[in-house]
Amino acid sequence: MSVRRRVAITGIGLVTPAGLDAASTWARIKAAKSCAGPITIFDASGFSTRIAAEVKGFDSLPPIDDRKLLKYASRAHRFALAAADQAIADAGIRPTLQDATRWGCVVGAGMMTVAHPEIAAVQRAAAPEGELIPNNIMQEPVANDVMAFSRSLSTAGVSLLLRRFGIRGYCSTVHTACASGGQAVGTAMRLIRRGLADRVLTGGFDSMISPVGLSGFCLLSAVSSDNDHPERASRPFDLTRNGFVLGEGAGFLVLEEWDSAVKRGATIYAELAGDGNSLSSYRITDSHPSGDGPIQAMRRAISDAGADMADIDYLNAHGTSTPMNDRSECAAVNAVFGDRAKEVGVSSTKSVMGHLIAAAGAVEAGICAMAIRDGLMPPNANLQQLDPDCDVNIVRDVPREQRIGMALSNSLGFGGSNSCLAFRHPDETAALIAAGR
């Protein structure tokens, strides 16, 4: 029987509300300093929620030298391009003419593909008094702008990445809301395992901080309305939590076949060891109170990694700060780990960055890899009064120094898609390989 190809994480790139690269993002997460504040991207004065976690100082990033590429890039696409550039540079390897067909690209992309200014422009032309005048639509310049149309395509982001890096192998885009980034990373891992690629650029990007995005979440009562105290608004597992803080950004990883990464002397953050998925089929916005969907995803990820419950030291929880989601996820943790649940450190880094929607799972995968590298469990910010229904081993306020042999990362999406990724310390992987496992 052939030995399964293992997958190494050799590059990480992050553009988040917490920082414009992986190092600054990780530093702010360790400091448990919230990124939430008043919305500045547009006038949110008419909304019940007027706060979000925005990416700040983005224009200070190194410019992209391909002007034609930028013409097709939205705000979220620019996050993706910057984070992917960082991941490729961090890995110290990029596609060449000789191996471009052995590189893949799998991306988790956001639900909102048309920029609000473009929607507003068409509305002003087509229905200036509120009643549709179809013949007016084509008089609006945006409606005749091929670049605006191209930016709106759900495949635009991955197309820009392929052009940027010359990747010519397997390509796919995942659209499963909050699970998108996690499922994209898991899909990329499976490509390498199956021999369909040797290296994959994978991640997620999103920006729903717009009138359309915010209004939808307000209608669902999903976002916190603590406008006077934004720094406290995202408080996963706290008894007084009242919704998530909307964030934006991108996270990208370079994944490589393990032996190839070792042979070239790459720095390996962690092994991406397991991928588990499930569908809750309960409500479009909630998991079942029993945690059934997350339970299945977590168990499948652990099994896929060839591990058992005793191997897991840390869980980066989905932990959005909504009442039902946090309770359901904690019920799942207790069901999966049983008596050992009190030994598994749990935190939600959304308490600092907010919820990055399609980018969340990919960013949090990078965080898990850095946590393993540093032997440091990131803290859960803003937890003052633990919800009795969330009685798990929360890492509170400050990082917990502890060697992490294995970690899990949950991403539980609107619509019921559940993703769980499993990560293993590279020394643990090396020992398994030496033992012929």
Residue 318 is a catalytic residue: yes
Report the C-alpha gap between 222 and 321 in whole angstroms. Answer: 9
- Output the six-digit token pair for 243: 């919704």
Residue 178 is a catalytic residue: yes
Report the C-alpha gap between 383 and 376 in whole angstroms. Answer: 19
Q: Active site residue: 175, 288, 355, 425, which one?
A: 355
Q: Active site residue: 318, 368, 390, 420, which one?
A: 318
Q: Active site residue: 35, 178, 368, 420, which one?
A: 178
Residue 35 is a catalytic residue: no
Residue in the structure block whose two tokens are 């999966």: 336
Under a CB-based contact definition with an 8 Å cutoff, are residues 275 and 268 in contact? no
Angle between helices 323-337 and 292-304 (to 10 degrees): 50
Under a CB-based contact definition with an 8 Å cutoff, are residues 361 and 182 in contact? yes
Chain-centre distance for alpha carbon 178: 8
CA distances from 276 to 3, 94, 179, 257, 296 (A): 20, 28, 11, 20, 8
Catalytic residues: 178, 318, 355
